[in-house]
Structure 1
């Protein structure tokens, strides 16, 4: 199977690993990118854009990256922090007064970013229609109480993360977070990533291929099962693409993910100018929690908007100052601040391995191996 794109000689191991994954059938269609000092050294793609294998995965193919969208939501918050319009230690109710009910007064903005706010789900079942209704989703969150003392432990805010941060952004900027992201980040950086996909881009989308490997056994460490859930088939729908679900419904490819996230590994510099100060970039590394996540049931160390490197974490890298996150099905993003490296892997064939998916880990390992040569 032919691999397309560019790859510096130093990173030939990444190309070989990527090709092997496609040839073996572990991947159907995928892309991988590595940026150093804000510049691409790997930008590869290959395979097919969908289960029918009738369309090739092209340079501009887009796919749903699921929870890697959360890292774009985090960038929006960081931009506002850099402008002095948002304080991470300020109560959420400072910006969203209706939020200060049912014991939520102590919740700070940093708790939203670190999944420690105690609002990992809604108190009632949520359908896809409900998730597409911004006012309903956010209003319901204002009415409920936190499920634990905010700031004490993490419980992955699978969908609520995007609505909580998105509403704070909306209150400050009077724009939806998808519009803010497009106007202030993606468009100025010429990055092909979308939170709410316009119909003109539908022809470029690769549908997700649902996982066929066995679902993991019930985790005895999960204390808080969540009820808001959508299937892979539902997320292949036009309804999902047009919705603004900023924790899960972002569309891009490895190049656009890496181009945007490399802002953090280049000290806030971009080819178009300074987006963030270096000090704001480093706030992502401020530990907010470390322990077994109440929802995912795995050891996680959370910083500001990202998980952080840790020996007991699912993603452990040589660089101590590393932040990362993944998307449902297997996509992976890693920012190594000290190495000034950003790695991104995006694919359409889903598995049930989550943050432990070997495809992304193998490519990441090849990246680090290449950097030591």
Structure 2
């Protein structure tokens, strides 16, 4: 398999390890960029971006990053705090009054960011359509009772993080988190980064397929 891209002098083993993923571990398509002290030392890609193995992975192929999106989402409240628009030590209900229902009146903004808000999941699951409509998720998590005393323990909010942070950002800025990221982060920095993929960008995206164990 022909690996594309470049590595800086001394980082040839990175290219070798990247190629080994294809040769020995069944990798189908991937990209890797590494920076050291602000300098790009590896920029590699290879394989194919579709499950059928017909379309080559290119320098411009985009990929779903799944839960790594939480890092981008968390940056938005921190930037709003830096700009004086959001107080991390304020109660969430200051910005989102409905959130205080069912014993969550003491939840702070910083608890949402640190997975200590005690609402990691919903008692009543949503349908896929509800989960993505931008309304049902925030409403459900606002009505949810906490699973422990908020702020006293930690639990990964895998299911609800997008709703809590997204709704908080919308209440503070009047913009969806996807629009805020596009206008305030991605566009100024020239990044191919989206929370909510524009239709025009869909052909760039690698389609994830099952990889044999």
- Return the TM-score normalized by structure 2: 0.95
Three-state SS of the structure 2 residue aligned to 1:111 is helix
Structure 1 residue 47: Cα displacement: 0.8
Partner of 1:148: 148
Partner of 1:30: 30
Partner of 1:98: 98
Aligned CA-pair RMSD? 1.3
More helix by share: 2
Whole-Å Cα distance in 2 between the matches of residues 191 and 23 of structure 1?
A: 31
Structure 1 residue 113: Cα displacement: 1.1
- Return the TM-score normalized by structure 1: 0.55
Partner of 2:203: 203
**CA distance 1:105–1:152, change in 2 (3 Å):** same
Structure 1 residue 212: Cα displacement: 4.6
Whole-Å Cα distance in 2 between the matches of residues 186 and 45 of structure 1?
A: 22
Q: Deviations over 1:43-69 (max 9, x none)?
A: 111111022110111011112110001
Partner of 1:126: 126
**Residues matched between the structures, number:** 213
Partner of 1:64: 64
Three-state SS of the structure 2 residue aligned to 1:63 is coil
Which structure exhibits the higher relative contact order, with contacts defined as CA atoms closer than 8 Å and separated by 6 or more residues?
A: 1
Mapping for residues 357-368 of structure 1, pairs under 5 Å: none
Whole-Å Cα distance in 1 between the matches of residues 212 and 150 of structure 2?
A: 37
More strand by share: 1
Whole-Å Cα distance in 2 between the matches of residues 103 and 180 of structure 1?
A: 30
Contact 2:35 2:41 in 1 (8 A): yes
Mapping for residues 243-254 of structure 1, pairs under 5 Å: none
Partner of 1:169: 169
Partner of 2:9: 9
Gaps of 5+ in 2: none
Mapping for residues 235-250 of structure 1, pairs under 5 Å: none
Misfit runs of 4+, over 4 Å: none
Partner of 1:259: none
Three-state SS of the structure 2 residue aligned to 1:195 is coil
Three-state SS of the structure 1 residue aligned to 2:40 is strand
Mapping for residues 275-314 of structure 1, pairs under 5 Å: none
